[in-house]
Structure 1
Amino acid sequence: MPRPVYLVDFSVYKPPDEMKMNYNQAYTLSRQWKECVDDNHEFISKVFQRSGISPTESYLPPWVNPATCKEPKYDMDSAKKEAEMVMGGAVADLLEKTGTRPDEIDILVTNCSIYCPTPSLCSLLVNKFKFRPETQTYHLGGMGCGNGVMALSLLRDLLQARPNVKALFVPAEIVTYCFYPGLQKDYMVANAIFRMGGAAILLSNQARYYSTAKYELLHNVRAHTGQDDGAYTCMGWGPDKKGVNGVYLRKDVPVQAAKALEVCLRRLAPSIITWGQYAEAARNLFERRVLGWQVPEYIPDFTKCIDHFALHAGGYAVLKGLMAAMRLPTEKMLPSFATLRDYGNTSCSTTWYVLGYMETCQGIGRGETVMQIGMGGGMKAGINVWRALREVKNVHPAWRHVAHAPVTEADLPRPINDPEAAAAAVPAGDIAAAVKASFGADFKATTAVAAH
């Protein structure tokens, strides 16, 4: 019999207020950087203004924040300082609030796609918190934004293999090392939307947590479409034409991401839909296959079988595409758009910020389910479905500023139902078309949003 996987608790990192990125200030000060070229400066500005990120709320580390540095520093030493701050801060907060000692951790998994030093980020945390010598450690690199979700399959398998253990998962992307100082536009979008953040998640298969843990993992599915050359090459980290490293994104990123997600949804749907939806699907199949009727393929209404949705807040376009494709109402999208507003694209940790917002501002009832969706380069996609084991309502420090005044659509820098967004006109269920259409006329200028 499979062992249960309990999510005991989690923390999302709240950077110091002095690291907030003020757009107007940054727009002026960054012009003084030697890397700044007027045309590219305006390009980044345009991407940011359409991104759905607040001009005053998101965070940048001091080494690449125009308000705190005369010139950006994106070297390994500066990146290490950010990693210690973000990952160490998230872990310290989690251990404190769960009353967990470092010597109780049996498995440690870190995830950072681009900054992969030697010794590893696992070793950094082992040294900082003095985890036991026999702690089983793994670092996951190059996996993209979706691995904050997809890595749960590895953690689930580790917890199946080892009884009575605790596992610590720490996803973060180190923005300092992602900074692109070059001049090629398809590499520059990351500078506009990547922001500082990370998470720490405590998992266990110990039976005693059934009554105290927040959630139990019900389903975990993932897909890798890298067999296709287009999916494999649509995004990555590497040199531009002049040899300067950065995150590059091709124009077909949203379509490739949507294809990977569609594979996951098709695999997951039979496990979560209601009996009534099974009947609707059977009738649709009979009409198309037996009667030969020209009717659209059945797409389930996911709100009938899932209570909450934590979607990767990579940018306005991808959230609009997911909203249209999955037929999600505005109220189900607000936590993801609120995360985008206040924290920007924190890569692999975005869905954990979304879940933190839900717990702070909405609460999750006992027995309610949460669908967590991530996508990243490769191309890869993953979905986790969690069930709340108890009433969950607690204030995360990262969301204390909105605990008594939850975000509404009117508070967003770009409304969810923006008439300029074309995704709403796409037929529900056409995931690839919905994600692509959400970019509209500015497709090339906002390509990165779907991948990160």
Structure 2
Amino acid sequence: MHIPLLPRTSSNLPTMAGYGSNKNNYLKLIYHYLISNTIYILFIFPLVALITNQHIIAHKLWHNLLQLINSNLPVHLILLLIFLATVTFFMSRPREVYLVDFACCKPNPCYRTSKVTCMDVTSQNKTFTQENIEFQRKLFERSGVGDETYLPPSVIDVPPKPTIDEARKEAESLIFLAIDELLAKTKEVVLPQDVGIVIVNCSVFTPFPSLCATIVNRYKLKEDVITYNLGGMGCSAGLISVDLAKHLLQVHPNSYALIVSVESLTQNWYCGNNRSMLISNCLFRMGGAAILLSNRLSDRHRSKYQLVHVVRTHNGADDKSYTSAYQQEDETGRRGLALSKDLMAVAGEALKTNITTLGPLVLPLSEQFLFLVVLIAKKVFRMRKIKSYLPDFKLAFEHFCIHAGGRAVLDELEKKLELSQWNMEPSRMTLYRYGNTSSSSLWYELAYLEAKGRIKKGDKTWQIGFGSGFKCNSTVWHALRNIYPNEGSNPWMDEIDKFPVHVPQVSSIIRPTMG
């Protein structure tokens, strides 16, 4: 069943797409346009005066320049000072970071696993009690995950095979597939030997040699390549990798950075009876993404996006946040991811902390003004009954990519950020089609937007990632051109016409997992 979508206009101004037809929404947009354009109106009169008197200003400037030349100060010294000031200005500016392209792997069809197959395997596994088999059946039915996700053979086999060899096979198959697709898409821009920085994030599988070393060996990268392997940082590690790459690209001119976001399920598939540790089995699935970043100005015209902001916030100093998603062993020694009852509250606080930092960087003047008025009323005039104002981020972004951690996560953020079905569609469809692929899920969501042909030049996309610790990270991307659905490989293209699909409502039995 298809959900009807509101069409987007080609304008970069906010439209009613994702707003609905409520009269208050129209009034809010009118207010936004008036306030946001006030600054331009205020500059019209000085600009008219400037144009009217430009011949007087030009005469004065010329007269002052002649006086300066006829003074005792040598002309070449003046020119030198101007040159030094210009060089200092351009040297002090941070280098722009471009996203040349990215690729999300579509695992081998032989790994496709329906929920029925999962339950068959669960029933055959003698480690689960009958009550917990039924518990998992309910989780599968209401998780928001569809029937065409992917699981490795090491998990589906009875009994499972949680060996290092199987875990390495799983990780390498995803990594190589994603990188091969990325290099095929960017072969006219970069060769493997041109890559100067490699960053891999895989939270629960950190073998040695590292996964970075595996990539260097496979693609025969140059000897002075800079490599980083990030582990244990949860589902938001992909955005941490982007932040690390951004800082490295500021100090290494004319460089390419390859980021690989992947996860391995083999050694962390839980086969015990602790219910707080069973939820991840119903959500996590195979997936991986490779991203190519550049700081070369010559790559701007062929890149898809420019990195605008990265905002990272960490609430790990709070004990509840720190233990809300915790890898541990149960009483029988079986390893898994335990989720606390405080997880939703922790996630809400983490989001609040992050958007408090991000808001002033991206929100239009109209929203900042309303936020300031409410803040003054509450803090200065002690008007406690006034509700805190939640800014409308739909006025700052055209697209939202929220980590597909689970159906309850998406429901909660849809409510907190007052987003529409249209806004949430990339996240919900990614969860349905590919499951929770950890840090790579944000890239499947961006690929969904591209496959739908929604990315237009000038659009801003907000990626929001959550991770254990507890962390909330954001990146903002600016589209440098229109992105057409038929550009290179895309994991959605051969089936994009099937989406969106209807996903049943979540049950209170589901608690989310965010990594």
Question: Is the structural similarity TM-score above 0.5?
Answer: yes
Query: What is the Cα deviation at residue 309 of structure 1?
Result: 0.2
Instruction: In structure 1, give the amino acid aligned to 2:177.
Output: G
Corresponding residue for residue 300 of structure 2: 210
Q: Is the 8 A contact 1:361 1:402 kept in 2?
A: no
Corresponding residue for residue 127 of structure 1: 217
Q: Is the 8 A contact 2:312 2:471 kept in 1?
A: yes
C-alpha separation in 1, matches of 2:492 and 2:150:
14
SS of alignment partner, residue 216 of structure 2? helix
Question: Residues 48-104 of structure 1, C-alpha deviation per residue, up to 9 Å, x if partnerless?
Answer: 2111011x2111112212xxx343111110010011100111011101110032101
Instruction: In structure 2, give the amino acid aligned to 1:342.
Output: R
Q: Please identify, of 127-136 and 232-241, the stretch whose mean Cα deviation from structure 2 is larger.
A: 232-241
Corresponding residue for residue 341 of structure 1: 432
SS of alignment partner, residue 401 of structure 1? helix
Q: Is the 8 A contact 1:178 1:190 kept in 2?
A: no
Q: Is the 8 A contact 2:280 2:513 kept in 1?
A: no
Q: Call closer, same or farther: CA 1:193–1:120 in 2, change over 3 Å.
A: same
- In the alignment, which of 413, 419, 422 is matched to residue 322 of structure 1? 413
TM-score by length of 2: 0.78
Q: Call closer, same or farther: CA 1:397–1:281 in 2, change over 3 Å.
A: closer
Instruction: In structure 1, give the amino acid aligned to 2:242.
Output: L
Q: Is the 8 A contact 1:163 1:206 kept in 2?
A: yes
C-alpha separation in 2, matches of 1:77 and 1:319:
35
C-alpha separation in 1, matches of 2:404 and 2:107:
18
- In the alignment, which of 373, 380, 385 is matched to residue 283 of structure 1? 373
Q: Figure out how many residues of one structure are paired with residues of the other and give that number.
A: 418
SS of alignment partner, residue 84 of structure 1? helix
Corresponding residue for residue 229 of structure 1: 319
Instruction: In structure 2, give the amino acid aligned to 1:231.
Output: S
Q: Where do 1:113-152 residues align within 5 Å?
A: 113-152=203-242
Query: What is the Cα deviation at residue 132 of structure 1?
Result: 1.3
- In the alignment, which of 427, 431, 441 is matched to residue 508 of structure 2? 441
- In the alignment, which of 484, 492, 496 is matched to residue 393 of structure 1? 484
- In the alignment, which of 274, 280, 299 is matched to residue 390 of structure 2? 299
Corresponding residue for residue 160 of structure 2: 72
- Find the structure with the greater CA-based Rg: 2
Q: Is the 8 A contact 2:407 2:428 kept in 1?
A: yes
Q: Is the 8 A contact 1:149 1:383 kept in 2?
A: yes
C-alpha separation in 2, matches of 1:37 and 1:181:
10
SS of alignment partner, residue 463 of structure 2? strand
Q: Where do 1:360-375 residues align within 5 Å?
A: 360-375=451-466
C-alpha separation in 2, matches of 1:317 and 1:362:
28
Q: Is the 8 A contact 1:375 1:382 kept in 2?
A: yes
Q: Where do 1:66-105 residues align within 5 Å?
A: 69-99=157-187, 100-105=190-195
Q: Is the 8 A contact 1:341 1:412 kept in 2?
A: no
Corresponding residue for residue 35 of structure 1: 127
Corresponding residue for residue 63 of structure 1: 154
SS of alignment partner, residue 93 of structure 1? helix
C-alpha separation in 2, matches of 1:131 and 1:388:
30
Query: What is the Cα deviation at residue 289 of structure 1?
Result: 3.9
Q: Please identify, of 359-368 and 240-249, the stretch whose mean Cα deviation from structure 2 is larger.
A: 240-249
SS of alignment partner, residue 398 of structure 1? coil
Structure 2: give runs of 5+ residues left out of the alignment: 1-92
Q: Is the 8 A contact 2:196 2:225 kept in 1?
A: yes
Query: What is the Cα deviation at residue 296 of structure 1?
Result: 1.3
Q: Does 1:381 align with 2:448?
A: no
Corresponding residue for residue 96 of structure 2: 4
Query: What is the Cα deviation at residue 129 of structure 1?
Result: 1.2
- In the alignment, which of 262, 284, 289 is matched to residue 194 of structure 1? 284
Corresponding residue for residue 424 of structure 1: none
C-alpha separation in 2, matches of 1:392 and 1:159:
25
Corresponding residue for residue 268 of structure 1: 358
Corresponding residue for residue 402 of structure 1: 495
Query: What is the Cα deviation at residue 150 of structure 1?
Result: 2.7
Q: Is the 8 A contact 1:368 1:388 kept in 2?
A: yes
- In the alignment, which of 15, 18, 33 is matched to residue 107 of structure 2? 15
Question: Residues 148-191 of structure 1, C-alpha deviation per residue, up to 9 Å, x if partnerless?
Answer: 12322111111112111000000111111221122222222121
Instruction: In structure 1, give the amino acid aligned to 2:333.
Output: G
Q: Where do 1:411-422 residues align within 5 Å?
A: 411-414=501-504, 418=505
C-alpha separation in 1, matches of 2:339 and 2:370:
39
C-alpha separation in 1, matches of 2:484 and 2:237:
26
Q: Please identify, of 22-31 and 330-339, the stretch whose mean Cα deviation from structure 2 is larger.
A: 22-31
Instruction: In structure 1, give the amino acid aligned to 2:283.
Output: I
Query: What is the Cα deviation at residue 310 of structure 1?
Result: 0.4
SS of alignment partner, residue 309 of structure 2? strand
SS of alignment partner, residue 47 of structure 1? helix
Question: Residues 269-295 of structure 1, C-alpha deviation per residue, up to 9 Å, x if partnerless?
Answer: 011111222222233234334444332
Corresponding residue for residue 451 of structure 1: 514
Q: Is the 8 A contact 2:406 2:514 kept in 1?
A: no
Q: Call closer, same or farther: CA 1:392–1:29 in 2, change over 3 Å.
A: same
C-alpha separation in 2, matches of 1:11 and 1:280:
40
C-alpha separation in 2, matches of 1:284 and 1:32:
58
TM-score by length of 1: 0.89
SS of alignment partner, residue 362 of structure 1? coil
C-alpha separation in 2, matches of 1:76 and 1:400:
34
C-alpha separation in 2, matches of 1:236 and 1:390:
41
C-alpha separation in 2, matches of 1:26 and 1:44:
10
Query: What is the Cα deviation at residue 34 of structure 1?
Result: 3.3
C-alpha separation in 2, matches of 1:397 and 1:441:
34
Q: Is the 8 A contact 1:334 1:407 kept in 2?
A: no
* Aligned-residue CA RMSD (Å): 1.6
Instruction: In structure 1, give the amino acid aligned to 2:362.
Output: I
Q: Please identify, of 308-317 and 119-128, the stretch whose mean Cα deviation from structure 2 is larger.
A: 119-128
Query: What is the Cα deviation at residue 140 of structure 1?
Result: 0.2
C-alpha separation in 2, matches of 1:36 and 1:284:
53
Q: Please identify, of 128-137 and 338-347, the stretch whose mean Cα deviation from structure 2 is larger.
A: 128-137
Identity %: 38
C-alpha separation in 2, matches of 1:240 and 1:40:
15
Q: Is the 8 A contact 1:360 1:400 kept in 2?
A: yes
Corresponding residue for residue 24 of structure 1: 116
SS of alignment partner, residue 200 of structure 1? strand
